[in-house]
């Protein structure tokens, strides 16, 4: 693909994944209010926020220079008896991680790809089921003493130090990281055609 890509995120994980697959995106993080409508489903929530982020970045594009560039935005939530976003504080992180221990939960990532200044848009979602081990309160407090939980949906990163508490997952590892690469790549190919 020879199209310039704008990544509507400053997530090191998303940037690294794009670069690993041969893309060098412009980084233009969105700055939206992530308040969700009441009673929204997990899948609709991540697609709603991903599209909102992409449209926010498009609204700040400079035309004609940015015309036709592809804007990619993503949003991830953990779901266990309700949507678990990023924890507000240590107590919130403790509550989230207590809810998911020794059981399964779902991780949904929504992605929006839009062509700046054009009507072409695609929004999609992928869901992975993650199974956590039974960890002790001591192990949980040791984890909460690190920086990792506080900027992650559900208060953990599957690719980080919390990985030792993951038993297994069913679905895409990249979806849990927050960027379902195989699906994104197939959609990018469609834009290239």
Give the DSSP letter string of 142-153: HHHTSSGGGGSG
Residue 27: beta bridge partners?
Answer: 7
Does the 5-192 domain belong in CATH 3.90.950.10?
Answer: yes
Confidence at residue 191, expressed as pLDDT on a 0 to 100 scale: 84
- pLDDT above 90: residue 186: yes
Q: How far is CA 150 from CA 72, 156, 181, in A?
A: 24, 8, 24
Q: Please provide the size of the chain in residues.
A: 193
What is the distance between the alpha carbons of residues 76 and 9, in angstroms, rounded to a whole number? Answer: 12
21-80 pLDDT, tens digit per residue, is 999 999 999 999 988 898 899 999 999 999 999 999 999 999 899 999 999 999 999 999
Q: What ranges do the domains of the chain cover?
A: 5-192
What is the distance between the alpha carbons of residues 2 and 70, in angstroms, rounded to a whole number? Answer: 11
The one catalytic residue among 39, 44, 56, 75: 75
Q: If you average pLDDT over residues 101-116, what whole number do you get?
A: 97
75 catalytic, yes or no? Answer: yes
């Amino acid at each position: 693909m020879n199209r310039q890509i704008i990544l509507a995120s400053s997530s090191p994980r998303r940037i690294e994944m794009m670069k690993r697959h041969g893309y060098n995106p412009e980084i233009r993080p969105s700055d939206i209010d992530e308040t969700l409508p009441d009673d929204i489903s997990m899948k609709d929530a991540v697609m709603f926020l991903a599209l909102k982020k992409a449209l926010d970045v498009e609204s700040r594009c400079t035309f004609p220079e940015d015309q036709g560039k592809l804007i990619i935005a993503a949003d991830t939530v953990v779901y266990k008896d309700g949507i678990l976003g990023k924890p507000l504080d240590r107590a919130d992180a403790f509550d989230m991680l207590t809810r998911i221990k020794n059981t399964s939960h779902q991780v949904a990532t929504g992605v929006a790809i839009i062509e700046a200044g054009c009507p072409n848009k695609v929004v999609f979602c992928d869901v992975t089921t993650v199974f956590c081990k039974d960890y002790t309160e001591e192990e949980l407090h040791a984890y909460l003493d690190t920086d990792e939980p506080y900027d992650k949906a559900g208060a953990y990163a599957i690719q980080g130090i919390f990985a030792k508490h993951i038993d297994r997952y069913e679905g895409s590892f990249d979806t849990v990281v927050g960027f379902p690469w195989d699906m994104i790549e197939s959609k990018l190919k469609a834009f290239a055609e």
